[in-house]
């Protein structure tokens, strides 16, 4: 069980032996509260589904004020460890790969948007990731997952000319390939990479001529996976993503 020892309030800044050296900032009380609560969650004192104690009880338990408790609770929610609902006490949740990726998506989009090479780096990361991923998906494909991929491909054809509908169908095709890996972390990362790229330039995915090429490339990927040819699937995916990346570059000039 986590210790109920109070957290000592911050003292004045210590004197530095070197007058020219910058002082190390004393750790914030909220950070100590975060560590204590994470420890209590990890120890099983507050398992998934359990509610955390009320603010006042936590203030007494840790010997800190309400601002430190509220800051700690907001940080824990951003980490995907608790859910805060209006009118209810915070509740511990079971993190999943999907919730973790969702938690960082906003920050990732901001990071990429403020990086001059952000889009190029994202495209490169996705290409490296998905080419390897499709090899795994091909090796682990089953009759059921192949039928699901076939249905996703059919949905892409049905959505042609539908703008946002086609973009959504395109993303679903790639999500189905990721799901074929049987690895929830791989699937979540694939979804994140695809969504981050789509949020950059959604209109380019369905630019004139791009839909027809995308469908042809999806067909080649599907045929290779269905045939159990991992190398052919990897090449088809590499060609698909390289062509898409080149299109982005041309249309952004």
Question: Taking every pair of C-alpha atoms in the chain, what is the biggest distance, in angstroms?
Answer: 72
Q: Do 39 and 137 sit in the same domain of this protein?
A: no
Q: Do 245 and 150 sit in the same domain of this protein?
A: yes
Question: In this structure, is residue 9 part of a structural domain?
Answer: no
Q: Assess whether pLDDT exceeds 50 at residue 14.
A: no
| pTM, rounded to two decimals | 0.65
Q: Assess whether pLDDT exceeds 90 at residue 101.
A: no
Looking at residues 225-246, what average pLDDT do you find?
91
Q: Do 143 and 36 sit in the same domain of this protein?
A: no
**Residue (of 23, 113, 7, 98) closest to 61 by Cα position:** 7
The total number of structural domains in the chain stands at 2
Give the pLDDT band (50/70/90) at residue 23: very low
Q: Do 52 and 129 sit in the same domain of this protein?
A: no
Q: Do 151 and 51 sit in the same domain of this protein?
A: no
CATH number of the domain that 154 lies in? Answer: 1.20.120.530
CATH number of the domain that 88 lies in? Answer: 1.10.10.10
Q: Assess whether pLDDT exceeds 60 at residue 247.
A: no
The values of phi and psi at residue 83, to 5°, are -120, 130
Q: Assess whether pLDDT exceeds 80 at residue 39.
A: yes
Of 92, 107, 141, the one marking the end of a domain is: 92
Of 48, 76, 92, the one marking the end of a domain is: 92
Looking at residues 232-238, what average pLDDT do you find?
97
For residue range 41-81, what is the model confidence (pLDDT) as tens digits?
999 999 999 999 999 999 999 999 999 999 999 999 888 88
Range of the domain at 64: 29-92
Given this model, what pLDDT does residue 195 score? 82
Give the pLDDT band (50/70/90) at residue 177: very high
Q: Do 159 and 227 sit in the same domain of this protein?
A: yes
Cα(171)–Cα(205) distance, integer angstroms: 10
Q: Identify which has the larger pLDDT, 184 or 11.
A: 184
Q: Do 130 and 160 sit in the same domain of this protein?
A: yes
Question: In this structure, is residue 75 part of a structural domain?
Answer: yes
Question: In this structure, is residue 123 part of a structural domain?
Answer: yes
Q: Do 88 and 35 sit in the same domain of this protein?
A: yes
Q: Do 188 and 203 sit in the same domain of this protein?
A: yes
Q: Assess whether pLDDT exceeds 80 at residue 4.
A: no
Q: Assess whether pLDDT exceeds 60 at residue 98.
A: yes
Given this model, what pLDDT does residue 252 score? 45
Give the pLDDT band (50/70/90) at residue 27: low
What's the mean pLDDT when you consider all of the chain? 83
Looking at residues 172-190, what average pLDDT do you find?
93
Beta carbons of 3 and 62 less than 8 angstroms apart: no
Q: Do 231 and 113 sit in the same domain of this protein?
A: yes
């Amino acid at each position: 069980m986590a210790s109920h020892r109070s957290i000592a309030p911050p003292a004045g800044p210590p004197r530095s032996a070197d007058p020219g050296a910058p002082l190390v900032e004393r750790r914030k009380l909220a950070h100590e509260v975060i560590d204590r609560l994470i420890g209590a969650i990890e120890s099983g004192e507050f398992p998934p589904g359990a509610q955390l104690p009320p603010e006042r009880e936590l203030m007494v338990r840790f010997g800190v004020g309400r601002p430190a408790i509220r800051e700690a609770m907001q940080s824990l929610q951003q980490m995907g460890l608790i859910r805060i609902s209006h009118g209810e006490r915070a509740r511990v949740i079971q993190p999943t790969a999907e919730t973790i990726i969702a938690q960082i998506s906003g920050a990732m989009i901001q990071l990429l948007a403020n990086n001059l090479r952000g889009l190029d780096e994202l495209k490169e990361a996705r290409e490296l990731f998905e080419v390897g991923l499709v090899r795994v998906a091909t090796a682990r494909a089953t009759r059921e997952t192949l039928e699901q991929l076939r249905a996703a491909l059919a949905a892409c054809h049905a959505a042609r000319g539908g703008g946002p509908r086609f973009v959504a169908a395109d993303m679903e095709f790639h999500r189905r390939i990721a799901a074929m890996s049987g690895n929830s972390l791989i699937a979540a990362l694939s979804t994140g990479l695809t969504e981050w790229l789509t949020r950059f330039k959604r209109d380019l995915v369905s630019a004139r001529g791009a839909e027809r090429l995308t469908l042809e490339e999806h067909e080649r990927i599907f045929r290779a996976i269905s045939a159990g040819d991992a190398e052919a699937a990897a090449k088809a995916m590499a060609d698909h993503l390289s062509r898409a990346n080149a299109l982005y570059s041309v249309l952004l000039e």
